[in-house]
Chains A and B, each alone.
Chain A
Amino acid sequence: MSLLDHDSAGAASAQQQPRRKNTMRFLRTAPLPVVFWLLLSGHYEPLLLALGALSVAVVCWLTRRAGLDHRSVTFAFALRLPRYFLWLSGSVLVSTFAVARKVWSPRPDLRPVVEPIPTPHLQELSQVVYANSITLTPGTLSLDVEANHIEVHSLERSGVDELRKGLMLRRVRQTEAQR
């Protein structure tokens, strides 16, 4: 049973909340898609602005329906993210090279393993970042995200061992928002 398989209980409870709170939530969710849409579109005719407003409304509704509207990324976290991305791109390139060698070798030596990687006391957002980073790095793939570990499929044992050493986990923790 993974976290993914739970029905979002939050969506059901959100419906019973008073209208005022819903408006507040809408105001907190809306600015990001609005800025994003304006940035990408660059057209300010009435028709396109109306379409933009409509799509922002749909996005807000979907966010609420998925029970995601109470999650937000703090500013400090967003500032620390580029540094993490740089480090991650480096390790993606290194492991791409390793997997590419397997692809082109005449007889690829694959010994796939599936093992749990412990992620004790990790915030939800950091867990998403960690699981996605594992998947983004070729050679390792997150199969299942549980409360305190992530099930990882790897092309060979060394991939899992590398994660066990916890270098990536430490980076994720550094990036994690301190509250």
Chain B
Amino acid sequence: MSVLEVLSGALLIAGALAVLTGGVGMLRFPDFYTRIHAAGITDSAGAGLILLGLLLRVDTWNTAVRLLIILLFLALTSPTATHILAHAARRDGVPMWRKGDPRR
């Protein structure tokens, strides 16, 4: 096994862990806004690490270019979508969880 393969494997595992953490956070956190933070781990760190891991084991340059483009577009679209969701929730008056409140 080459150094690149080991490095790529490590990145993929770290990415998978981040995705899992996001999922667990979605279940454990108390309300809509805090759950969005947990989902944020999945789509920033999780997706980013997995794509970087894949980038280290490409065969041809055009696969690499496509992976980079996917990375760029995820970095642009996922925070925008998250912001729109949070903005809509706030405009509709979804109540914010404070310490001591029951879970929703």
Contact = CB atoms under 8 A, between A and B. Distances in A.
A103 B62 CA distance: 38
B25 A132 contact: no
B65 A39 contact: yes
Contacts, number: 106
Interface of A: 2, 4-5, 36, 39-40, 42, 85, 89, 92-93, 96, 99-100, 102-104, 108, 110-112, 114, 131-133, 135-139, 141-145, 151, 153, 155
B90 A135 contact: no
Nearest to A153: B33
B45 interface: yes
B16 interface: no
Contact of B83 (A108, A112, A142): A142
B30 A110 contact: yes
Interface string B77-88: 011101110110
Interface in B50-81: 62, 65-66, 69, 75-76, 78-80
Nearest to B71: A85
Nearest to B39: A138
A108 B28 contact: yes
Contacts of B66: 40
A112 B28 contact: no
B41 A99 contact: yes
Given A99-B25, A100-B21, A132-B83, A92 B48 contact: yes
Contacts of B98: 111-112
Which A-B residue pairs are the 8 nearest by beta carbons? A135-B79, A103-B25, A96-B45, A132-B79, A136-B79, A138-B40, A100-B21, A138-B41
Contacts of B99: 110-112
A48 B50 CA distance: 31
Contact of A143 (B40, B76, B87): B87
B48 A144 contact: no
B37 A132 contact: no
Contact of B44 (A2, A96, A145): A96
Interface string B16-32: 00100110110011100
